[in-house]
Structure 1
Amino acid sequence: MNTNRWLLLGALILPWLSIPILGKKYIKRFLPATIFITTFVHFEGLFAEKRKWWWFFERLHPKMNGMTPFLLGPFTVGTLWIMRFTFGNFFLYIVTNFLVHLAFVFPLMNWLTKIGIGSLIRFNRMQLLALFTFKAAMLYGFQMLVEKIKNIGQDTNQSINN
């Protein structure tokens, strides 16, 4: 296995080592929104590669999308952590996401291109940053919906018990 595949494997596995620290309560609370946005981004990635917005040259497996290690590793776990520390304060949430996305779009994307893992093709960095910011707002809105539904369920259970 070449160096790039080892990097992809590390990107897939290493973030998951932090999950026990996160706590079951927060995993349970934010998992529905995380699954929603991860699924959305997976299909977006398939569409993006078809439209040649970006391309991943290196893959862990020939039948696996090139962005899968990043999606199932740092993206999924990072989503749980960011939601854990920022949900309830939209300004902090959006600033935190913006800074993380800024780090991905500029230095990390430059590095991924340089080492031959992936590259932007028909999408420029500002478009990618705008797309990331839109998805962050969509994720926050989805979590608010989940919280509202959960609260309605709790209110119904309380009224039945009273």
Structure 2
Amino acid sequence: MIVGMHNEDTDTVEALIVAADHPSLAGDIDEFLTRLQVERRYFGPTASSRPKPTRALLASLRQRGGFRMAVFVEAQVVGLARIDGAGELFLAVAPEYRNEGLGTELGRAMVERARQLHYTRLVMRSSHRSGAIRRVGDELGCMVVDGHHGRTEFILDLLPSEVSA
């Protein structure tokens, strides 16, 4: 799937979203996750819009099981998502591509694939009140459940709604 992304520096950048579990992509994915692992943590007003991925998120993105999709821009992985067998969605985007809509487009591609694979519900979790994840959840139509200690769940029911006769 090819998506257009508007960037401050350029008019439009093409991004390619692909299935990411083929062994030939392992090196690209490892490089992407390593870049995220050493990313600088933001504090203050930018923290919610540019959250550094947690170690738990990075570990979940590395795992097999379920399926993964990646976003490529100019032959480089700039986003990765995974849905595990239980329907939990994990998603991360490189810092230089955040707030460009790639996370939302990747989320949409994951939802479409999850429907094809007959998942009935997806859940994203955030240990912080992340503005970035909240925007993705809102765009995907998730129900937001705010929990204790700043934890938030974004739940998306994938069952088709019944039409009453």
With normalisation by structure 2, the TM-score equals 0.28
**Rg larger in 1 or in 2?**
1
Answer 1 or 2: higher relative contact order, Cα 8 Å, separation at least 6.
1
Write 1 or 2 for the structure with the bigger share of strand.
Answer: 2
With normalisation by structure 1, the TM-score equals 0.28
